[in-house]
Amino acid sequence: MDDLLPQLLSFPPHPAPAQKLSDSDYEKRVKSIVKLLNGTSASQLVRGVGGGGDLLDILDPAINTLPYLYTLLAHISNNQDAKQGGASVAKAFPPGEQLWQKMLVFMESFDPVQVRYAGAQWLSLVETVARSAETSQKPITAITPIRTAMLRLDPSTSCFTSTHLLFVRLCLHTKAFQDALPILDNDIFHFPTVDHNPRSSPPQLSEQHESSYAFITTSSGLSQNLNYQDHLRYFLYGAMLYLGLKNWKRTLLFLELVVVSPAINTASMIQVEAYKKWILVGLLLKGRPMVMPKNTNSQAAKFMKAIGKPYEVLANAFKDKNSEKLYAEFYAAQNVWQNDCNMGLVLQVLEASRRFRILRLERIYAAIPISVVAQLTSPQPENHAETEAYVTSLIASGQLNATLGPSTDSTKGSMLRFSTTSTGGPLARSETQQFEDLTRQTAKFVQLSKHIKATERRMELSKEYVDWARKNRRNKANGDSLLNHPLYSNDGYGIDEDLLADM
C-alpha cells in the first residue's frame, strides 16, 4: 500500500497547476489511474496504510474521486455479510453507520468528470445505498443522497437512466412527493445510445458537453440496460408523484407520455393503468373528457378504451353536468375504482364537478347572488352558508378569480363577482410578474430548441440516416426529399457533405 498510495494521489495534480491540463492529457492520466485501480485487488485497497488507518481517511472524495470510489466498493465486496447480498447488505452497512456515512459524503462531493470513467462503479455504489436503505426499512434515507448524486453527475438529468427509475420508485414508496421534484421537473430529452458513430471522431469524456447523452451511453456503465417498460414505469410513477402534489398539469403530461408510447397491436397493462388515470386527471384539470391523442397507436387505443370503459362512462356523466347521473355511475362501479386503487382520485372528480359548474357561471354572469349559486350548484340548495364557505375556499386556493361582497339587496345575501381579466381580482398579476413568466417560458423554449437540434445532429450522424440519405441521393426525382426539408438544411446542424462524398 505504501508504494500504491503515491500513485493514487498523483491524479489529479493537487494543488492544481497554473496551466490546466488539456483534455487529451487529462484523458491519458485518468485512464492510467483507472487501469491501476482495476488491477488492484480489493484486499489491497482495504488493507490500510503504514502506521495504521484507513485509506478512506487519507483520500479526499472531491479530489481523489476514483481511488475513493474503488476503496468504498472494496470495503463492500470484502464484507462477508455484503457478499451474501439481500438483507445482509443492510446488516453490513445500515444507515447511520460509519461506512454508510462515507458513502453519503462521496455522493455529495465526487468529481462528476472523473466518475464518467468509472460509470459501472458509480452506479454500483448508488444501487448499494438504495438497497441498504430499503432492506433496513429506511428507504427515505436514500432519497437525498441519490438525488444529489444524480444532479452532480448530470445537472440537467435530461438523459434517462436506470437511476431515474430507481429514484422515483423510492420516492413513491416513501410518499416523498416534494423530494422528487428536483428530478421530475427536469424534462427527459435523451436516452443512452450506442457509442459514437464510426464516421465521426469519438468525444473525449472530459470535454464540456452540451448534453449528457455524449457521456451517458449504453457502454458507459452509468445506467443499467433499459427496456420499453422502464420508460413507461418512470412516467407512470412520476405521474403518481405529481398526483400527490395535485399538480394536474404535469400529471396529465406524464400520463399522456405513457398512453401515446409506441405499441405493437395492443397496449401494455402499464398503459392501461395510465389511461384510466389520464381520463380522471383530464376531468380535474380541464373539466371535460379528454380526446384520445391522435398519435396513439389505433390498436392500443381500442384495447385501452375497452378496459377503461367504466372511466369513460363516468367522464361522459361528468360532461352532462348531471349530478344524479354522475353519482349513479360512481356507485355502480365502486368495486372498479377500489380494485384499481383509484377511489381517491374518483372522489376528487366528484368534488370537481361542483367546482367546474361554478366556474362555468362566469361565462354567463358578471355577478350572481350566493343564493342563486347554491340553487344551481350545491347538493344542499337551501344551505347558503355552506355554499358561501365553499366559494370562499375556491377563491383562497386560487381556483376562482372572483370576490365575495355584500349585495345591494340585503335579502339576497352575499354577491359573487367574477373578474374576467388577468389584471383584476385576487389572482391579478402585475406586468412584472407577467414578464417574469414570459422570461421563464422563453428560457424553456431555448433549452428545448438546443435539445432538438442536438437530437437532429445525432440522427444525421447515425448509420440508418446516412444509409437512407445515400439511397435518397440516387432518387433525385423525389421532390419531398427529407434532405430538402428545412429541419435538415445546412444551417450548422445539417448533414456534413464529407460524410456522403465517397458514396
Between strands 402-406 and 367-369, the pairing is: unpaired
Give the pLDDT confidence of 263-305 residue by residue, as tens digits. 888 899 999 999 999 999 999 999 999 999 998 999 999 999 9
Distance CA 355, CA 472 (A): 56
Position 437 pLDDT exceeds 90: no
For residue 96, is it left (φ>0), alpha (ψ between -120 and 50) or beta?
left
Distances (CA, A) of 453 to 162, 260, 489, 491: 25, 23, 12, 10
Position 474 pLDDT exceeds 70: no
Residues in contact with 479: Cβ distance below 8 Å, sequence separation at least 6, in sequence order: none
Cell 462477508, residue located: 80
- The mean-pLDDT minimum among 137-146, 205-214, 385-394 falls in 205-214
Mean pLDDT over all residues of the chain?
A: 84
Q: How much is the pTM?
A: 0.83
Specify the pLDDT at position 479.
Answer: 53
- Local confidence band at 498 (pLDDT 50, 70, 90 cut-offs): very low
Give the pLDDT confidence of 320-366 residue by residue, as tens digits. 878 889 999 999 999 999 999 999 999 999 999 999 999 999 888 99
With a pLDDT cut of 90, the percent of the chain lying above it is 53
Distances (CA, A) of 479 to 108, 456, 487, 488, 503: 55, 21, 15, 15, 21
Give the pLDDT confidence of 63-120 residue by residue, as tens digits. 999 999 999 999 988 875 555 555 555 566 777 788 999 999 999 999 999 999 999 9
Specify the pLDDT at position 446.
Answer: 79
Distance CA 93, CA 99 (A): 6
Specify the pLDDT at position 490.
Answer: 38
Position 169 pLDDT exceeds 60: yes
Of 370, 356, 258, the C-alpha closest to 304 is 258
Cα angle 409-388-368, degrees, rounded to a multiple of 5: 45
Specify the pLDDT at position 456.
Answer: 66
The helix or strand, by DSSP H or E, that contains position 341, with its residue range, turns out to be none
Top-confidence residue, 22 or 307? 307
